[in-house]
Structure 1
């Protein structure tokens, strides 16, 4: 299918019999490994460039060493060494770098669907280092540049008298995204890079700073919980029907974490073929392998949100440059918003 305006709706995808229900497999070509980044067309990049007026740039990345203790236990902390061949020279190296440990973009090989497999039916045997199949380098080659739109969900809910309690795993339904957009006076357009600010990351970083000042450790023994998007087909429908190219948030998983209250299930779960795990019920299983949605997590959005709130302008040009790592699973986002 060559014309994006002819793409089926999410409800149509759920009725597919020629591919997994709810999937976009084959719609961008049988060998596609870009997924929703196909929505970032040259025309939409030109539109994004026209949004720059002040030229002010905002980095949306945390420092690579932001978390002394990894948020996700299997992702360790990097080790940075600076050395020199003589007193007038310096080089450095990084060991133990986990590309998805801080501000990140997930590639399409990050998650497979337990019943249907990886995006576009990719052979899982090929999802190894160096093999290009679904590698993060394809995002880098295509380019991640387009119209960025910030939905400041945290500020909207506070304004509405329903502020977020960051100690709880609060689930945000898709209707709140529509409400936030209406409140801000902004429209979501096909090909947008959507930025969702919940305020979770800013709260987490404040806790870490307070611990550093007091010498206390209030976080390491506390289960990781995060506000995030509701795990439902309504959420998936919202992203697909809006033709979102990439969705990034200032939380740990885009969706609410953990997924213990999720209503989503797969046959592998219900029939006992797959043991319960932290992935059970996750929206990731739909967004990445079925729809091919590019996802960003732990993006630093507070400074940008303040600027947007100040002049009531919630759109910008956004550029991200993931690592050109052949066969990479994910990458630091290296994202900049330009207004």
Structure 2
């Protein structure tokens, strides 16, 4: 379908059969990269124009940035340094959860309860030792493109309406549009969206005093959010919060047939935008990206486009990976 006019989100809803509401087949029947296909050689080449000063900004937190872990089932890494003799050192990391710090969510991360995994891949193949939808597909290509920082937190501060960082405040696409206009920034096909809400800065200030109940502002759990992200033809979206979308997804209107019919009980994933973005649209997501220094530099220069690199680990059949992300301005 890539040779045809690129379908809008509304047009995806008119597709027939199992593909209704999905982007399956849009990038090819066997595709395993999803929206990262927007990073064409021409767009990668164009992104080099975002480098004017050659200044580099790492966007990665430490692997052990949060103790205790933000999400309980993602434990703390255990770093060991050892030597065969006094003149030698090696190290290893045990208990490493690839999505516990600055991360990339691969297309294995979520299936849709009604549709399944991205592009119709069989759930029985999404296991250890199989390649389908594994993060190695992304690692083999690498992520390189034009990043656009949208400093939603700074924009809301400017309005005198700071984001409530201790809540799951819903950030709508109208706010994203307003922030882009305020910055004087426009999006182009193939861009990598970098959303700074200010949540990581808030969490750093709290330190060990952070509340037991994890909450984070983020993108609103609305169908129009998914439509906006898809129709902008973004290659990837990353944010400085825990889930890109608001967390937890309490009160979300998003639902599935499986839940409506009682086949699937409610869980912490009920109502999540993840269920649309990853398995239906093939959108790669970044979470817990440390954007504060980069956003400050962008604000000082009144320029929000960057050359972005991210290289996930080549984990065969991996669900996600540390981001290894760096921006150059």
TM-score by length of 2: 0.98
Which residue of 1 is the match for residue 78 of structure 2? 79
**In structure 2, the residue corresponding to 1:282 is in which secondary structure?**
coil
Q: Distance in 1 between matches of 2:296 and 2:105?
A: 26
2:272 pairs with 1:307: no
What aligned pairs does 1:60-79 form with structure 2 within 5 A after superposition? 60-79=59-78
Check the 8 A contact 1:19/1:25 in 2, yes or no.
no
What aligned pairs does 1:77-226 form with structure 2 within 5 A after superposition? 77-208=76-207, 211=208, 218-219=209-210, 222-226=212-216
Q: Distance in 2 between matches of 1:75 and 1:23?
A: 30
Which residue of 2 is the match for residue 17 of structure 1? 16
Which residue of 2 is the match for residue 228 of structure 1? 218
Query: Gapped runs of 5+ residues in structure 1?
Result: 212-217
2:277 pairs with 1:287: yes
Query: Gapped runs of 5+ residues in structure 2?
Result: none
**In structure 2, the residue corresponding to 1:6 is in which secondary structure?**
coil
Kindly provide the CA deviation profile for residues 95-114 of structure 1, in whole angstroms up to 9, marking residues without a partner as x: 00000000000000100000
Shift of 1:29: 0.8
Kindly provide the CA deviation profile for residues 177-229 of structure 1, in whole angstroms up to 9, marking residues without a partner as x: 11110000011110001000000011101111xx4xxxxxx33x521000000
Shift of 1:230: 0.3
**In structure 1, the residue corresponding to 2:50 is in which secondary structure?**
coil
The alignment covers a number of residue pairs equal to 329
2:269 pairs with 1:269: no
Which residue of 1 is the match for residue 316 of structure 2? 326
Shift of 1:20: 3.0
TM-score by length of 1: 0.95
Q: Which runs of 4+ in 1 moved over 3 A?
A: none
Q: Distance in 1 between matches of 2:259 and 2:101?
A: 30
Which residue of 1 is the match for residue 245 of structure 2? 255
Which residue of 2 is the match for residue 58 of structure 1? 57
CA RMSD of aligned residues (A): 1.0
Check the 8 A contact 2:103/2:289 in 1, yes or no.
yes
Q: Distance in 2 between matches of 1:161 and 1:269?
A: 40
**In structure 1, the residue corresponding to 2:138 is in which secondary structure?**
helix
